[in-house]
Amino acid sequence: MRKEGRKRQVMLAIGLVLVLGLAEAAQAAEKIVIGAMYPMTGRAGRYGIDSVSAAEIAMNEINAKGGVNGRMIDIIFNDSKANPAYSIKVAKRYITEDKVNFLMGVVSSAVGLAVTEVSKENKVIFVGTDHASTALTTEKFQPYYFRVSNNTYQSAAAAALYAKDIKPWKKYYVIGPDYEYGHRTWEDFWMLLGRQRKDVQLVGQAWPKLFEPDYTPYITAILSAKPDVLVTTFWGGDTVAFIKQALPYKLFDKMKFYNYDGGGNYELLEAMPTGLPKGLVLSARHHLNWPDTKQNKEFVAKFKAQTGRYPSYAAEGAYAGVYFIAEGVRQAGTAEDPDKLVAVMEKIKFKLPEDPEGFMSYMRPIDHQIVQVQAIGETVPDKSFPPATMMLGNWKIFKAEEIIPSVAEIEAARKAVKK
Protein backbone atom coordinates (compact mmCIF):
# COMPACT_ATOMS: atom_id res chain seq x y z
CA MET A 1 0.00 0.00 0.00
CA ARG A 2 2.81 2.36 0.97
CA LYS A 3 4.71 1.36 -2.11
CA GLU A 4 1.77 1.97 -4.38
CA GLY A 5 1.21 5.34 -2.75
CA ARG A 6 4.74 6.39 -3.54
CA LYS A 7 4.37 5.21 -7.09
CA ARG A 8 1.28 7.29 -7.49
CA GLN A 9 3.05 10.27 -6.00
CA VAL A 10 5.88 9.90 -8.50
CA MET A 11 3.44 9.61 -11.40
CA LEU A 12 1.63 12.67 -10.15
CA ALA A 13 4.85 14.62 -9.94
CA ILE A 14 5.81 13.61 -13.48
CA GLY A 15 2.40 14.55 -14.74
CA LEU A 16 2.59 17.87 -12.97
CA VAL A 17 5.98 18.66 -14.51
CA LEU A 18 4.65 17.78 -17.96
CA VAL A 19 1.61 19.95 -17.56
CA LEU A 20 3.67 22.84 -16.22
CA GLY A 21 6.04 22.45 -19.15
CA LEU A 22 3.12 22.58 -21.54
CA ALA A 23 1.72 25.65 -19.89
CA GLU A 24 5.09 27.35 -20.14
CA ALA A 25 5.44 26.38 -23.79
CA ALA A 26 1.99 27.71 -24.50
CA GLN A 27 2.83 30.95 -22.75
CA ALA A 28 6.12 31.25 -24.64
CA ALA A 29 4.36 30.80 -27.95
CA GLU A 30 1.93 33.48 -27.02
CA LYS A 31 4.54 36.10 -26.30
CA ILE A 32 5.08 38.84 -28.84
CA VAL A 33 8.83 38.82 -29.33
CA ILE A 34 10.70 41.92 -30.49
CA GLY A 35 14.35 41.67 -31.53
CA ALA A 36 15.91 45.05 -30.74
CA MET A 37 19.35 46.34 -31.74
CA TYR A 38 20.97 49.44 -30.30
CA PRO A 39 24.58 50.62 -30.02
CA MET A 40 25.90 50.21 -26.49
CA THR A 41 29.37 51.68 -26.95
CA GLY A 42 31.08 54.57 -28.67
CA ARG A 43 29.71 58.03 -29.30
CA ALA A 44 26.16 56.83 -29.96
CA GLY A 45 26.17 54.63 -26.84
CA ARG A 46 24.09 57.09 -24.87
CA TYR A 47 21.32 56.94 -27.48
CA GLY A 48 21.38 53.14 -27.43
CA ILE A 49 21.31 52.88 -23.65
CA ASP A 50 18.48 55.42 -23.41
CA SER A 51 16.53 53.58 -26.13
CA VAL A 52 16.80 50.29 -24.24
CA SER A 53 15.56 51.88 -21.01
CA ALA A 54 12.62 53.55 -22.75
CA ALA A 55 11.66 50.37 -24.62
CA GLU A 56 11.62 48.50 -21.32
CA ILE A 57 9.41 51.16 -19.77
CA ALA A 58 6.93 50.83 -22.64
CA MET A 59 7.01 47.03 -22.44
CA ASN A 60 6.36 47.03 -18.68
CA GLU A 61 3.51 49.51 -19.06
CA ILE A 62 1.82 47.37 -21.70
CA ASN A 63 2.41 44.08 -19.87
CA ALA A 64 1.16 45.53 -16.58
CA LYS A 65 -2.15 46.20 -18.31
CA GLY A 66 -2.38 42.57 -19.41
CA GLY A 67 -0.38 42.76 -22.62
CA VAL A 68 -1.86 42.92 -26.11
CA ASN A 69 -4.88 40.70 -26.78
CA GLY A 70 -3.77 38.70 -23.72
CA ARG A 71 -0.22 38.24 -25.02
CA MET A 72 2.81 39.62 -23.21
CA ILE A 73 5.54 41.58 -24.97
CA ASP A 74 9.09 40.32 -24.69
CA ILE A 75 12.04 42.31 -26.04
CA ILE A 76 15.45 40.80 -26.71
CA PHE A 77 18.24 43.37 -26.81
CA ASN A 78 21.57 43.15 -28.58
CA ASP A 79 24.40 45.57 -29.27
CA SER A 80 24.29 46.77 -32.87
CA LYS A 81 27.90 47.91 -32.43
CA ALA A 82 26.80 50.64 -34.88
CA ASN A 83 28.16 48.24 -37.49
CA PRO A 84 26.04 47.24 -40.54
CA ALA A 85 27.68 43.85 -41.20
CA TYR A 86 27.44 42.82 -37.55
CA SER A 87 23.83 44.01 -37.28
CA ILE A 88 22.83 41.93 -40.29
CA LYS A 89 24.11 38.85 -38.46
CA VAL A 90 22.18 39.76 -35.33
CA ALA A 91 18.98 40.39 -37.30
CA LYS A 92 19.27 37.06 -39.10
CA ARG A 93 19.88 35.21 -35.85
CA TYR A 94 16.85 36.93 -34.32
CA ILE A 95 14.72 35.66 -37.19
CA THR A 96 16.01 32.10 -37.53
CA GLU A 97 16.85 31.20 -33.92
CA ASP A 98 14.84 33.48 -31.67
CA LYS A 99 11.82 33.48 -33.99
CA VAL A 100 11.13 37.14 -33.30
CA ASN A 101 7.91 38.70 -34.60
CA PHE A 102 9.44 42.15 -35.13
CA LEU A 103 12.79 43.80 -35.55
CA MET A 104 13.27 47.17 -33.91
CA GLY A 105 15.90 49.80 -33.38
CA VAL A 106 19.17 51.11 -34.62
CA VAL A 107 20.61 54.58 -34.26
CA SER A 108 22.88 54.69 -37.29
CA SER A 109 21.27 55.11 -40.72
CA ALA A 110 23.95 52.91 -42.26
CA VAL A 111 22.82 50.09 -39.97
CA GLY A 112 19.17 50.91 -40.75
CA LEU A 113 19.83 50.54 -44.48
CA ALA A 114 21.44 47.13 -43.88
CA VAL A 115 18.72 45.80 -41.57
CA THR A 116 15.88 46.90 -43.85
CA GLU A 117 17.27 44.48 -46.48
CA VAL A 118 17.07 41.57 -44.01
CA SER A 119 13.53 42.63 -43.14
CA LYS A 120 12.55 42.68 -46.79
CA GLU A 121 14.03 39.24 -47.61
CA ASN A 122 12.47 37.54 -44.58
CA LYS A 123 9.21 39.47 -44.50
CA VAL A 124 9.74 40.42 -40.87
CA ILE A 125 8.54 43.90 -39.99
CA PHE A 126 11.33 46.32 -39.00
CA VAL A 127 10.30 49.29 -36.88
CA GLY A 128 12.91 52.04 -37.15
CA THR A 129 13.50 54.36 -34.21
CA ASP A 130 15.92 57.29 -34.16
CA HIS A 131 17.93 56.74 -37.37
CA ALA A 132 16.93 59.54 -39.71
CA SER A 133 18.15 59.08 -43.29
CA THR A 134 15.31 59.95 -45.66
CA ALA A 135 16.51 57.22 -48.04
CA LEU A 136 14.87 54.50 -45.92
CA THR A 137 11.41 55.84 -46.59
CA THR A 138 11.94 57.08 -50.15
CA GLU A 139 14.33 55.40 -52.57
CA LYS A 140 15.22 52.43 -50.31
CA PHE A 141 11.66 51.94 -49.14
CA GLN A 142 10.30 48.40 -48.73
CA PRO A 143 6.84 47.52 -47.40
CA TYR A 144 7.96 45.79 -44.17
CA TYR A 145 9.75 48.90 -42.92
CA PHE A 146 8.16 51.58 -40.69
CA ARG A 147 9.79 54.56 -39.00
CA VAL A 148 8.33 56.10 -35.86
CA SER A 149 10.66 59.11 -35.51
CA ASN A 150 11.16 62.12 -37.79
CA ASN A 151 13.57 61.87 -40.69
CA THR A 152 16.09 64.54 -41.70
CA TYR A 153 13.76 65.87 -44.40
CA GLN A 154 11.11 66.73 -41.82
CA SER A 155 13.49 68.64 -39.57
CA ALA A 156 15.07 70.36 -42.59
CA ALA A 157 11.63 71.36 -43.91
CA ALA A 158 10.60 72.80 -40.55
CA ALA A 159 13.94 74.58 -40.38
CA ALA A 160 13.41 76.13 -43.82
CA LEU A 161 9.97 77.41 -42.78
CA TYR A 162 11.51 78.90 -39.65
CA ALA A 163 14.35 80.59 -41.55
CA LYS A 164 12.09 81.86 -44.32
CA ASP A 165 10.37 84.30 -41.97
CA ILE A 166 13.53 85.79 -40.54
CA LYS A 167 14.37 88.57 -42.97
CA PRO A 168 17.83 89.49 -41.60
CA TRP A 169 19.10 85.94 -42.22
CA LYS A 170 20.60 86.44 -45.66
CA LYS A 171 24.20 85.31 -45.54
CA TYR A 172 24.58 81.65 -44.55
CA TYR A 173 27.64 79.67 -43.58
CA VAL A 174 27.42 75.91 -42.98
CA ILE A 175 29.72 73.67 -41.00
CA GLY A 176 29.02 70.00 -40.40
CA PRO A 177 30.58 66.56 -40.19
CA ASP A 178 31.76 65.28 -43.54
CA TYR A 179 29.50 62.26 -44.11
CA GLU A 180 26.04 61.41 -45.41
CA TYR A 181 24.07 62.72 -42.44
CA GLY A 182 25.93 66.04 -42.19
CA HIS A 183 25.53 66.83 -45.88
CA ARG A 184 21.97 65.55 -46.37
CA THR A 185 20.60 67.48 -43.40
CA TRP A 186 22.04 70.67 -44.87
CA GLU A 187 21.19 70.06 -48.55
CA ASP A 188 17.49 69.38 -47.91
CA PHE A 189 17.28 72.59 -45.89
CA TRP A 190 19.13 74.74 -48.41
CA MET A 191 17.08 73.41 -51.35
CA LEU A 192 13.77 74.04 -49.54
CA LEU A 193 14.83 77.49 -48.31
CA GLY A 194 15.95 78.42 -51.84
CA ARG A 195 12.42 77.75 -53.12
CA GLN A 196 10.99 80.28 -50.67
CA ARG A 197 13.67 82.95 -50.49
CA LYS A 198 15.60 84.33 -53.45
CA ASP A 199 17.76 86.73 -51.42
CA VAL A 200 19.76 84.19 -49.43
CA GLN A 201 23.39 83.51 -50.15
CA LEU A 202 25.91 80.87 -49.06
CA VAL A 203 29.11 82.67 -48.05
CA GLY A 204 31.09 79.61 -47.05
CA GLN A 205 31.03 75.98 -46.05
CA ALA A 206 33.37 73.73 -44.10
CA TRP A 207 33.22 69.96 -43.62
CA PRO A 208 35.54 68.78 -40.86
CA LYS A 209 35.70 65.09 -40.13
CA LEU A 210 33.16 63.55 -37.77
CA PHE A 211 34.34 63.82 -34.13
CA GLU A 212 37.01 66.45 -34.97
CA PRO A 213 38.40 67.47 -31.59
CA ASP A 214 39.70 70.93 -32.54
CA TYR A 215 37.61 73.53 -34.40
CA THR A 216 39.77 76.59 -33.72
CA PRO A 217 40.94 77.17 -37.33
CA TYR A 218 37.37 76.73 -38.59
CA ILE A 219 36.08 79.29 -36.11
CA THR A 220 38.48 81.99 -37.22
CA ALA A 221 37.64 81.25 -40.87
CA ILE A 222 33.89 81.49 -40.14
CA LEU A 223 34.33 84.80 -38.32
CA SER A 224 36.18 86.26 -41.30
CA ALA A 225 33.33 85.31 -43.66
CA LYS A 226 30.89 87.35 -41.48
CA PRO A 227 27.69 85.36 -42.09
CA ASP A 228 24.35 86.38 -40.56
CA VAL A 229 23.65 82.82 -39.52
CA LEU A 230 25.81 79.77 -38.99
CA VAL A 231 24.06 76.49 -39.75
CA THR A 232 25.65 73.46 -38.12
CA THR A 233 24.70 69.85 -38.68
CA PHE A 234 26.84 68.49 -35.86
CA TRP A 235 25.34 66.03 -33.41
CA GLY A 236 26.36 64.98 -29.92
CA GLY A 237 29.72 65.98 -28.55
CA ASP A 238 30.81 67.77 -31.71
CA THR A 239 28.29 70.52 -30.99
CA VAL A 240 29.58 70.79 -27.45
CA ALA A 241 33.23 71.04 -28.54
CA PHE A 242 32.40 73.62 -31.21
CA ILE A 243 30.44 75.84 -28.81
CA LYS A 244 33.11 75.66 -26.12
CA GLN A 245 35.81 76.64 -28.58
CA ALA A 246 33.80 79.40 -30.27
CA LEU A 247 32.80 81.11 -26.99
CA PRO A 248 36.01 83.10 -26.37
CA TYR A 249 35.83 84.39 -29.96
CA LYS A 250 32.38 85.85 -29.14
CA LEU A 251 31.07 84.07 -32.22
CA PHE A 252 27.57 83.91 -30.75
CA ASP A 253 27.39 87.69 -30.45
CA LYS A 254 28.29 88.10 -34.10
CA MET A 255 25.94 85.64 -35.78
CA LYS A 256 22.98 83.36 -35.11
CA PHE A 257 23.74 79.73 -34.41
CA TYR A 258 21.29 77.30 -35.98
CA ASN A 259 21.27 73.52 -35.44
CA TYR A 260 17.81 72.27 -36.32
CA ASP A 261 18.12 68.48 -36.25
CA GLY A 262 20.20 67.37 -33.30
CA GLY A 263 21.34 70.54 -31.56
CA GLY A 264 18.51 70.72 -29.05
CA ASN A 265 19.12 67.28 -27.61
CA TYR A 266 19.09 67.32 -23.81
CA GLU A 267 22.54 65.72 -23.57
CA LEU A 268 24.02 68.96 -24.98
CA LEU A 269 22.10 71.26 -22.68
CA GLU A 270 23.20 69.04 -19.82
CA ALA A 271 26.84 68.94 -20.96
CA MET A 272 27.21 72.72 -20.64
CA PRO A 273 25.78 73.81 -17.31
CA THR A 274 27.93 76.92 -17.56
CA GLY A 275 28.69 78.96 -20.61
CA LEU A 276 25.93 77.86 -22.98
CA PRO A 277 24.88 81.09 -24.74
CA LYS A 278 21.33 82.41 -24.86
CA GLY A 279 19.49 82.60 -28.15
CA LEU A 280 20.93 79.59 -29.99
CA VAL A 281 18.27 78.27 -32.35
CA LEU A 282 17.99 74.53 -31.88
CA SER A 283 15.73 71.56 -32.23
CA ALA A 284 15.65 67.79 -31.70
CA ARG A 285 13.29 64.87 -32.24
CA HIS A 286 11.92 65.06 -28.73
CA HIS A 287 12.07 67.71 -26.00
CA LEU A 288 11.79 67.31 -22.23
CA ASN A 289 9.81 70.53 -21.84
CA TRP A 290 7.70 70.56 -24.99
CA PRO A 291 4.86 69.85 -25.51
CA ASP A 292 3.59 70.73 -22.07
CA THR A 293 1.24 67.75 -21.92
CA LYS A 294 0.52 65.32 -19.13
CA GLN A 295 1.75 62.42 -21.25
CA ASN A 296 5.12 64.03 -21.98
CA LYS A 297 5.65 65.05 -18.37
CA GLU A 298 4.83 61.55 -17.18
CA PHE A 299 7.16 59.97 -19.72
CA VAL A 300 10.07 62.20 -18.68
CA ALA A 301 9.38 61.77 -14.97
CA LYS A 302 9.10 58.00 -15.25
CA PHE A 303 12.34 57.75 -17.23
CA LYS A 304 14.11 59.90 -14.68
CA ALA A 305 12.72 57.86 -11.77
CA GLN A 306 13.79 54.53 -13.28
CA THR A 307 17.22 55.44 -14.64
CA GLY A 308 18.32 58.41 -12.56
CA ARG A 309 18.88 60.57 -15.65
CA TYR A 310 16.83 62.55 -18.15
CA PRO A 311 16.33 60.94 -21.55
CA SER A 312 18.13 62.02 -24.71
CA TYR A 313 15.77 62.22 -27.70
CA ALA A 314 16.40 58.65 -28.87
CA ALA A 315 14.47 57.36 -25.84
CA GLU A 316 11.10 58.63 -26.96
CA GLY A 317 11.60 57.02 -30.38
CA ALA A 318 12.12 53.58 -28.85
CA TYR A 319 9.15 54.11 -26.52
CA ALA A 320 7.04 54.96 -29.57
CA GLY A 321 8.35 51.87 -31.39
CA VAL A 322 7.09 49.44 -28.74
CA TYR A 323 3.67 51.14 -28.59
CA PHE A 324 3.50 51.13 -32.39
CA ILE A 325 4.07 47.37 -32.49
CA ALA A 326 1.55 46.78 -29.71
CA GLU A 327 -1.07 48.85 -31.54
CA GLY A 328 -0.40 46.96 -34.77
CA VAL A 329 -0.84 43.57 -33.12
CA ARG A 330 -3.97 44.74 -31.31
CA GLN A 331 -5.61 45.91 -34.51
CA ALA A 332 -4.46 43.02 -36.71
CA GLY A 333 -5.27 40.40 -34.06
CA THR A 334 -2.03 38.61 -34.92
CA ALA A 335 1.71 39.00 -34.62
CA GLU A 336 2.46 36.25 -37.12
CA ASP A 337 0.94 37.48 -40.37
CA PRO A 338 3.23 40.23 -41.71
CA ASP A 339 1.01 41.25 -44.62
CA LYS A 340 -2.05 41.62 -42.43
CA LEU A 341 0.08 43.61 -39.98
CA VAL A 342 1.42 45.93 -42.68
CA ALA A 343 -2.11 46.63 -43.84
CA VAL A 344 -3.16 47.92 -40.41
CA MET A 345 0.15 49.39 -39.30
CA GLU A 346 0.38 51.77 -42.23
CA LYS A 347 -2.81 53.43 -40.99
CA ILE A 348 -2.00 53.61 -37.29
CA LYS A 349 -2.76 56.83 -35.49
CA PHE A 350 -1.65 57.07 -31.85
CA LYS A 351 -0.82 59.56 -29.16
CA LEU A 352 2.85 59.95 -28.20
CA PRO A 353 4.65 62.01 -25.55
CA GLU A 354 5.90 64.38 -28.28
CA ASP A 355 2.40 65.10 -29.64
CA PRO A 356 0.91 68.47 -28.63
CA GLU A 357 -2.72 68.78 -27.51
CA GLY A 358 -5.13 68.02 -30.31
CA PHE A 359 -2.66 66.13 -32.48
CA MET A 360 -1.87 62.44 -32.84
CA SER A 361 1.15 61.03 -34.68
CA TYR A 362 0.16 58.94 -37.66
CA MET A 363 1.74 56.64 -40.21
CA ARG A 364 1.61 57.53 -43.88
CA PRO A 365 0.92 54.59 -46.22
CA ILE A 366 3.00 55.95 -49.12
CA ASP A 367 6.37 55.89 -47.27
CA HIS A 368 5.67 54.32 -43.85
CA GLN A 369 7.10 57.46 -42.29
CA ILE A 370 5.48 58.77 -39.14
CA VAL A 371 4.02 62.26 -39.50
CA GLN A 372 4.66 64.52 -36.52
CA VAL A 373 4.69 68.12 -35.42
CA GLN A 374 8.12 69.76 -35.22
CA ALA A 375 9.07 72.45 -32.73
CA ILE A 376 12.12 74.73 -32.99
CA GLY A 377 13.20 76.81 -30.02
CA GLU A 378 15.85 79.11 -28.65
CA THR A 379 18.02 78.58 -25.60
CA VAL A 380 16.60 80.46 -22.61
CA PRO A 381 17.61 80.33 -18.92
CA ASP A 382 15.63 77.51 -17.30
CA LYS A 383 16.75 75.38 -14.38
CA SER A 384 13.88 72.92 -14.24
CA PHE A 385 15.95 70.02 -15.61
CA PRO A 386 19.27 70.14 -13.74
CA PRO A 387 22.19 70.08 -14.31
CA ALA A 388 21.17 72.02 -17.43
CA THR A 389 20.76 75.75 -16.80
CA MET A 390 19.42 76.53 -20.26
CA MET A 391 16.51 74.83 -21.98
CA LEU A 392 14.71 75.59 -25.21
CA GLY A 393 11.89 78.11 -25.19
CA ASN A 394 10.30 80.76 -27.48
CA TRP A 395 8.98 77.86 -29.52
CA LYS A 396 7.80 78.01 -33.09
CA ILE A 397 5.64 75.07 -34.04
CA PHE A 398 5.39 73.59 -37.53
CA LYS A 399 2.38 71.60 -38.57
CA ALA A 400 3.02 67.99 -39.40
CA GLU A 401 1.51 68.22 -42.89
CA GLU A 402 3.69 71.17 -43.90
CA ILE A 403 6.99 69.43 -43.39
CA ILE A 404 6.60 66.15 -45.25
CA PRO A 405 7.58 65.54 -48.85
CA SER A 406 4.54 65.29 -51.14
CA VAL A 407 3.48 61.96 -52.60
CA ALA A 408 4.60 63.21 -56.02
CA GLU A 409 8.07 64.07 -54.68
CA ILE A 410 8.46 60.63 -53.17
CA GLU A 411 7.38 58.91 -56.36
CA ALA A 412 9.77 61.07 -58.38
CA ALA A 413 12.66 60.19 -56.05
CA ARG A 414 11.86 56.49 -56.34
CA LYS A 415 11.61 56.67 -60.11
CA ALA A 416 14.92 58.48 -60.37
CA VAL A 417 16.60 55.57 -58.59
CA LYS A 418 14.99 52.88 -60.72
CA LYS A 419 16.30 54.43 -63.93
Partner 1 sequence: MDGNLLAAQFIGGLTSAMSLFLVASGLTLIFGVVNVFNFAHGSFYLLGAYFAYQAVAVSGVGFWAGVLLASLGAGAAGVLMEYFFLRRIYGRAGEAGFQILLTYSFILILDDVVKMIWGTDYKSISKPVALAGSFSLGEVTMPRYDLVVIVIGLAVAFGMWAAIRKTRFGRNLRAISSNREMASSLGVNVPLALSLVFGLATALGGLSGAISAPVRTVTPGAGIEVIIGSLIVVVIGGLGNFWGALVGALVIGEVTAFGILFLPQWAILFSYAVMALVLIFRPEGLLMKRGAVR
Question: Which positions lie near partner 1, rule CB under 8 A?
Answer: 41-43, 45-46, 49, 178, 204-209, 211-214, 216-221, 223-224, 236-238, 240-241, 244-245, 248-250, 267-268, 270-275, 309
Nearer to partner 1, 238 or 367 (CB): 238
Looking at beta carbons only, is 248 or 358 nearer to partner 1?
Answer: 248
Rank residues 112 and 208 by Cβ distance to partner 1 and give the closer one: 208
CB-wise, 162 or 234, nearer to partner 1?
Answer: 234
The nearest distance, CB 57 to partner 1, in angstroms, is: 19
Nearer to partner 1, 49 or 148 (CB): 49
Residue 406 has φ and ψ, to the nearest 5°, of -70, 160
Please state the closest distance from residue 389 (CB atom) to partner 1, in A: 12
CA dihedral sign, ordered 84, 85, 86, 88: positive
Least CB distance to partner 1 at residue 53 (A): 12
d(CA 163, CA 406): 21
CB closer to partner 1, 207 vs 350: 207
Least distance between partner 1 and beta carbon 360 (Å): 32
Residue closer to partner 1 by CB (options 236, 328) is 236
In our burial notation (b when 16+ CB lie closer than 10 A, e otherwise), range 43-54 reads ebebbbbbbbbb
Please give the Cα distance from 248 to 270 (Å, whole number). Answer: 20
Taking the complex as a whole, the smallest distance from the CB of residue 171 to partner 1 amounts, in Å, to 15
Sign of CA dihedral 322, 127, 338, 344: positive
Contact call for residues 159 and 376 (beta carbons, < 8 A): yes
Can you list the positions of beta strands (E) in 254-388? Answer: 256-259, 281-282, 349-350, 361-363, 370-371, 374-381
* Minimum separation from the CB atom of position 309 to partner 1 (A): 7
CB of 42 to partner 1, least distance (A): 5
Half-sphere exposure of 64 toward its Cβ, with a 13 Å CA cutoff? 6
Which residue number, 42 or 143, has a Cβ lying nearer to partner 1?
42
To partner 1, the closest distance from the beta carbon of 145 in angstroms equals 28
Q: Which residues, 6+ apart, have CB-to-CB distance to 11 below 8 Å?
A: none
Q: 331: buried, middle or exposed (CB in 10 Å: 19+, 13-18, 0-12)?
A: middle
Collapse the DSSP code of 124 into the 3-class scheme (helix H, G, I; strand E, B; otherwise coil) and give the result.
coil
Helices and strands in the chain: count of H runs, count of E runs: 14, 15
